[in-house]
Structure 1
Amino acid sequence: MKASLMLLLAPLVSAAPTVEHRQASQSIDALFKAKGKEFYGTATDQGRLQAGRNAAIIEANFGQVTPENSMKWESINPRQGQYNWGQADYLVNWATQRNKTIRGHTFVWHSQLAGWVNQINNRDQLTRVIQEHIRTVGGRYKGKIYHWDVINEMFNEDGSLRNSVFSRVLGESFVKIAFDAARETDPSAKLYINDYNLDQPNYAKVTRGMVANVNKWLSQGIPIDGIGTQGHLQSGQGNGLAQTIKVLAATNVKEVAVTELDIQNNNSNDYVAVTRGCLEEPKCVAITVWGVRDQDSWRPQGNPLLFDSNYNAKANYNAIVQLLSQR
């Protein structure tokens, strides 16, 4: 069955959330957009969307979704030539039916990578595999994905290139291979390079890793549109990430975004600091938090998200509302 027909056959659900399911006084997405930004989003997937009040909370309060796992290589392309579309299709259909923006996550990543890819040791073969994977997945969702994390987590903490099958076989040329394939596949999508621990402005992973290399690759004509800083923080690190947003924006990319934000422990001030940091930087277009409820977080210790286990908006959500409600 053709991909377009499969997407059309996904079940339709009313897109109008009821007020009692909002569980928050105001939508941070609507308030953020009123300040000229593109979205305040969250990560989810089919299992989350079909459980509890997750779907209703996202409909009411967030403007964008990132697939938490369903588009990662081991999930969507576990064996060569075999693609598992069900969960990713569900997410894309759910979002497009509700006019929610979608971030695609991720094409090329050393982790959660299908085992068969790790066995490749031939340059030409790995090049073809990367291109085929991007053309197949990106082509299926062409025109529906707003941002693509083309490459994820490629730098070591000292700013050097991470050891992976991609760097071992292809060196840094895999960056051009991946971004060129993504641009060819979906010219309208904004193409990102995404990484974690980009939380301090003078950290080597920021300066010698992301900043230096992205400027170099842009000068070589590689079509990198944006830098994503994930933002997996501890309490007290919000101001550092806010400063780093400016450092990343000072590169020659068109835009930056906070892509996977969660903050452990006493985090209201940190959520406000990160949100303010994005507001104050014109190139910062969006923020995505990595989940809805604390208990569903990939690192639930320290209650890192914006809603509690009963889907009640927490103090940090309300602190963001207060910030965004200021003139």
Structure 2
Amino acid sequence: MTTLLPSRRKFLAQTTGSLALGLSGLSAFAAEPPHLSRAAGAAPIPYGAAVRAGALASDPTYRAAVAAMCEIIVPEGEMKWSDIHPKRGEYRFENADALVDFARQNRIEIRGHTLAWYGALPAWTSEFANGAEAERELVDHIETVVSRYRGTVPSWDVVNEPLADWPQDRFSLRPSIWMNRLGPEYLPIAFKATASADPDAKLVLNEYDVEYHGARFEARRKALIQLLRWLRDRDVPLHAVGLQAHLFAGRTIDRDGLQALLAEIVALKLDVLITELDVVDKDLPGKIGERDALVAAMAAQFLDACCEVVRPKAILTWGLTDRYTWVPTFFKRADGMPNRPLPLDAEFKPKPLFDVIEEYRRKFA
């Protein structure tokens, strides 16, 4: 049993009834004091989750569970452009600052997400007249945000989801204001601006849909490696690749293809993070026990393939509890039953997915 920090013990002691029974087994996700981790050997792979500032403020049980179980948190939306930079020349840091303060108070690391993405852009960004203006605004945004959290946010998803849905090569990048005005050069611009604002930060390119069998996914793996090589050949500051790992029931993990991709990433001397793990259960059976087992099995297939090639620097799920998840917004079940994509259910009880993550995060310990 992992030794709990005082705040973790207090949380578990104050939790009562069935919720207490569910949370009593969660201490394995608690951050271990460094001296205990070293004495016991290699520390487990750090676990973390995407969190919501609003839920942290309004739901005490959620706040306590995140503090008890996460060694890393990442803002689900609070550091995206639409939240933090809603108008030209106007920055709103209240929600992002709240998450940074929460992480500091609970001795949790916080990752930054995200600096250059096609999505979550405020309407004013569509007004860029030319490439020079787009570059100026992109660099100003990155310098302002990253400098504010320099020394506090040690890792950034600098570029998120750059590849087109079905890319032909490394320059088949997703349409966006950045591609429209700057072309592929927006990636080096973003990475260099981030490195300039915080030379100590670990810079990550975050991508999805590279795990499965099928021509589209094979094309995405090929284009991703080509893009990474292009960036490295140009001495662009890049330290890691984030695999989102939004897993879908009905798709099949391409173990050989995924492992070949990971081997190429390792050969480029880049780290690997699992950044947004969950399992979309839209098409799985309704029976809870059966569904939870299938969700866990799919995550196990993915994690087993990854961990056979590389020790991920972190495993993060896109949310901690089914009470707060993006999945039903886009993948609501036809039977009307709640989605169950995350390690804890809506009442904060651990599910088989929790056990799978625990197994693989300790695989190298």
1:137-178 deviations in whole A, cap 9, x for unaligned?
Answer: 000000111210111111112221111111111111111110
Kept after mapping to 2: 8 A contact 1:31/1:321: no
Q: What is the Cα deviation at residue 276 of structure 1? A: 3.2
Distance in 2 (alpha carbons) for counterparts of 1:310 and 1:164: 39
2:233 pairs with 207, 219, 229, which one?
A: 219
2:11 pairs with 11, 15, 18, which one?
A: 18
Tell me the C-alpha RMSD between the 2 structures: 2.6
Matches within 5 A, 1:234-313: 234-235=248-249, 239-240=253-254, 244=258, 247-251=261-265, 252-265=268-281, 266-282=294-310, 284-300=312-328, 301=332, 302-313=339-350
Q: What is the Cα deviation at residue 123 of structure 1? A: 1.2
**Structure 1 229/72 Cα, relative in aligned 2: closer, same or farther at 3 Å?**
same
Distance in 1 (alpha carbons) for counterparts of 2:359 and 2:114: 33
Q: Which runs of 5+ in 2 are unaligned?
A: 1-5, 282-293, 333-338
Kept after mapping to 1: 8 A contact 2:163/2:220: no
Corresponding position: 1:154 with 2:162: yes
Q: Which moved more, 1:103-112 or 1:242-251?
A: 242-251
Kept after mapping to 1: 8 A contact 2:212/2:252: no
Q: Which moved more, 1:139-148 or 1:243-252?
A: 243-252
Kept after mapping to 2: 8 A contact 1:148/1:192: yes
Q: Which moved more, 1:303-312 or 1:268-277?
A: 268-277
TM-score (norm 2): 0.78
Q: For residue 3 of structure 2, what is the aligned residue in structure 1?
A: none
Matches within 5 A, 1:1-327: 15-16=7-8, 17-20=10-13, 21=15, 23-29=23-29, 36=43, 38-50=45-57, 51-159=59-167, 160-200=172-212, 203-235=217-249, 239-240=253-254, 244=258, 247-251=261-265, 252-265=268-281, 266-282=294-310, 284-300=312-328, 301=332, 302-322=339-359
**Structure 1 118/157 Cα, relative in aligned 2: closer, same or farther at 3 Å?**
same
**Structure 1 27/35 Cα, relative in aligned 2: closer, same or farther at 3 Å?**
farther
Count of residue pairs brought into register by the alignment:
314
1:51-100 deviations in whole A, cap 9, x for unaligned?
Answer: 14112111222211000011000110011110111100000010022221
TM-score (norm 1): 0.87
1:23-68 deviations in whole A, cap 9, x for unaligned?
Answer: 1414454599875455111000211212141121112222110000
**Structure 1 73/234 Cα, relative in aligned 2: closer, same or farther at 3 Å?**
same
Kept after mapping to 1: 8 A contact 2:273/2:314: yes
Q: For residue 4 of structure 1, what is the aligned residue in structure 2?
A: none
Q: What is the Cα deviation at residue 124 of structure 1? A: 1.1
Distance in 1 (alpha carbons) for counterparts of 2:44 and 2:133: 41
1:271-307 deviations in whole A, cap 9, x for unaligned?
Answer: 2233334433335211110112213110144410111
**Structure 1 322/31 Cα, relative in aligned 2: closer, same or farther at 3 Å?**
farther
Q: Which runs of 5+ in 1 are unaligned?
A: 1-13
Q: For residue 11 of structure 1, what is the aligned residue in structure 2?
A: none
Q: Which moved more, 1:102-111 or 1:233-242?
A: 233-242
Q: Alignment identity in percent?
A: 29
**Structure 1 55/134 Cα, relative in aligned 2: closer, same or farther at 3 Å?**
same
The residue identity in structure 2 corresponding to 1:285 is K
Q: Please say which structure displays the higher CA radius of gyration.
A: 2
The residue identity in structure 2 corresponding to 1:259 is T
**Structure 1 322/125 Cα, relative in aligned 2: closer, same or farther at 3 Å?**
closer
SS at match of 1:174: helix
Distance in 2 (alpha carbons) for counterparts of 1:204 and 1:273: 18
Kept after mapping to 1: 8 A contact 2:262/2:306: no
**Structure 1 196/107 Cα, relative in aligned 2: closer, same or farther at 3 Å?**
same
